[in-house]
Amino acid sequence: MRLLSSSASASSCNLFCSSHKANARESEGKFQVPVKDKDFEFQIKKFAPPLTAVLLAVSPICNPPESLGQTLDIQRGATLFNRACIGCHDTGGNIIQPGATLFPNDLQRNGVDTEEEIFSVTYYGKGRMPGFGEKCTPRGQCTFGPRLQDEEIKLLSEFVKLQAEQGWPNVSTE
pLDDT at position 56 is 60
The answer on 53 and 72 residing in a single domain is: no
The string of pLDDT tens digits covering residues 31-54 is: 565 656 677 777 777 777 777 766
The answer on 131 and 94 residing in a single domain is: yes
Which residue range is the domain that position 17 belongs to?
2-57
pLDDT at position 162 is 93
Mind giving me the DSSP string for 101-161? -SSHHHHHHTT--SHHHHHHHHHHEETTEEB-BTT--SGGGB-SS--B-HHHHHHHHHHHH
Say if residue 138 is preceded by a cis peptide, omega within 30 of 0: yes
The answer on 82 and 46 residing in a single domain is: no
Which of 143 and 16 is assigned the larger pLDDT?
143
- Specify the DSSP class assigned to residue 53: H
Which residues lie across from 27 on neighbouring strands? Answer: 30
Mean pLDDT of 146-165: 95
Tell whether 140 is covered by a domain. yes
Q: For the chain, what is the mean pLDDT?
A: 77
pLDDT at position 154 is 96
The answer on 149 and 101 residing in a single domain is: yes
CB of 3 closer than 8 Å to CB of 32: yes
The answer on 109 and 76 residing in a single domain is: yes
The string of pLDDT tens digits covering residues 80-127 is: 999 999 999 999 999 999 999 999 999 999 999 999 999 999 999 999
The answer on 145 and 98 residing in a single domain is: yes
pLDDT at position 55 is 63
Predicted TM-score of the model (pTM) = 0.60
Mean pLDDT of 116-142: 93
Residue 69 pLDDT > 90: no
Residue 10 pLDDT > 90: no
Check which CATH number belongs to the domain holding 161 and give it: 1.10.760.10
The answer on 157 and 127 residing in a single domain is: yes
Which of residues 57, 77, 101 is at a domain's end? 57
The answer on 99 and 157 residing in a single domain is: yes
The answer on 81 and 30 residing in a single domain is: no
Tell me how many domains the chain contains.
2
The DSSP element (H or E) to which 83 belongs, if any, is: helix 68-84
